């Protein structure tokens, strides 16, 4: 994949790019990860006539940190919208046929972007995170246990030290915990560790959880719990994909996706965990292509 830089929403994003088609596919990564993990998706979409661009998300070096220190879901959504507009102009692609594919925090960014501007993307694919996760988190006791790390990440300083301990061993641990039975390629894990070693990536990545999940967790103390009924409706046609052995987010949380998304299809990938696009790239790629190719 080629390197590509683009200025959007006050940030210079470093991106990986595949293909030169007339449709843009914006491919957004999650945690603990970087843009390189979206390569199987990007390459598959490039083969289908897309220009697929996978940016390092805000705060993930070599992309700039957030200029205002904001790593909330709304900020990620604004980035997605701004990246789509800037890339469409730069690459001369058809804005009306742009698609977004987001994994983990990339999925959160997609939901936020589609809520802010329902017409921004022709279609969307979200991987590993259901819509309305903050509300669902508090309704599923087992998910509260799976999300132990989110609680831990709210603490000051200690999470940074834990993430950096033994040269970012937590990265490999979480990949193994969230995708049980699958051994991530050593070169992929090492590439992610290099990203986290660079600049303030580790601190910035943790701030995503403090800015977005933190308010939902703190609401437990006030009794004002977020409700799925209050989650904004998403009008963008969306394929929602989960792994049936995901150790991070249980597949049962995806059962209500169609109550939030007007036009929705949910796919459960057998024998796959949280990083299903890496574990079973052919299966996930087929599902994505079927959804986004007209």
Question: Above pLDDT 90, what percent of the chain?
Answer: 89
Q: Which domains does the chain have, with CATH numbers?
A: 2-292 (3.40.50.1820)
Query: Is pLDDT of 213 > 90?
Result: no
Query: Is pLDDT of 226 > 90?
Result: no
Neighbours of 5 (CB within 10 A): 12
H-run or E-run covering 272? none
Confidence class for position 286, pLDDT limits 50, 70, 90: very high
Looking at residue 223, its pLDDT comes to 65
Round to whole Å and give the CA distance between 207 and 214: 9
pLDDT mean over 191-215? 95
Q: What is the overall mean pLDDT for the chain?
A: 95
Q: What is the DSSP string of 155-191?
A: SSSHHHHHHHHHHHHHHHHHHHHHSTT----HHHHHH
Question: Above pLDDT 70, what percent of the chain?
Answer: 98
| Bridge partners, 99 (sequence order) | 25, 123
| C-alpha closest to that of 232 among 100, 118, 101 | 118
- The pLDDT tens digits of the residues spanning 79-90 come to 999 999 999 999
| C-alpha closest to that of 27 among 110, 77, 88, 100 | 100
Confidence class for position 216, pLDDT limits 50, 70, 90: confident
Query: Is pLDDT of 225 > 90?
Result: no
pLDDT mean over 52-63? 98
- The pLDDT tens digits of the residues spanning 17-27 come to 999 999 999 99
Tokens of 254: 């995806």
Looking at residue 220, its pLDDT comes to 66
Query: Is pLDDT of 120 > 90?
Result: yes
Confidence class for position 136, pLDDT limits 50, 70, 90: confident
Looking at residue 221, its pLDDT comes to 66
Looking at residue 172, its pLDDT comes to 96
Query: Is pLDDT of 230 > 90?
Result: no
User: Parallel, antiparallel, or unpaired for β 2-8 and 11-18?
Assistant: antiparallel
């Amino acid at each position: 994949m080629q390197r590509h830089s683009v200025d959007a929403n006050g940030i210079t994003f470093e991106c990986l790019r595949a293909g030169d088609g007339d449709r843009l596919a914006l491919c957004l990564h999650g945690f603990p990860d970087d843009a390189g993990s979206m390569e199987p998706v990007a390459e598959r979409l490039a083969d289908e006539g897309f220009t697929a661009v996978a940016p390092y998300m805000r705060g993930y070096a070599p992309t700039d940190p957030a200029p205002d220190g904001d790593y909330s879901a709304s900020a990620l959504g604004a980035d997605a919208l701004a990246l789509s507009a800037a890339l469409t102009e730069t690459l001369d692609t058809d804005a009306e046929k742009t698609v977004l594919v987001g994994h983990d925090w990339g999925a959160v960014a997609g939901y936020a972007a589609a809520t802010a501007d329902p017409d921004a993307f022709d279609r969307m694919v979200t991987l590993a995170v259901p819509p309305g996760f903050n509300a669902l988190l508090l309704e599923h006791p087992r998910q509260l246990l799976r999300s132990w790390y989110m609680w831990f990440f709210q603490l000051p300083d200690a999470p940074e030290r834990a993430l950096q301990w033994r040269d970012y061993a937590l990265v490999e641990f979480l990949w193994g915990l969230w995708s049980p039975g699958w051994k991530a390629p050593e070169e992929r894990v090492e590439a992610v560790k290099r990203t986290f070693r660079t600049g303030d990536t580790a601190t910035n990545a943790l701030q995503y959880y403090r800015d977005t999940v933190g308010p939902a967790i703190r609401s437990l103390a006030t009794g004002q719990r977020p409700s799925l009924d209050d989650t904004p409706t998403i009008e963008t046609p969306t394929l929602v994909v989960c792994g049936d052995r995901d150790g991070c987010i249980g597949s049962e949380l995806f059962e209500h996706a169609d109550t939030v998304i007007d036009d929705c299809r949910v796919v459960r990938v057998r024998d796959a965990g949280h990083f299903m696009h890496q574990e079973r790239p052919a299966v996930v790629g087929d599902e994505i292509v079927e959804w986004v190719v007209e």
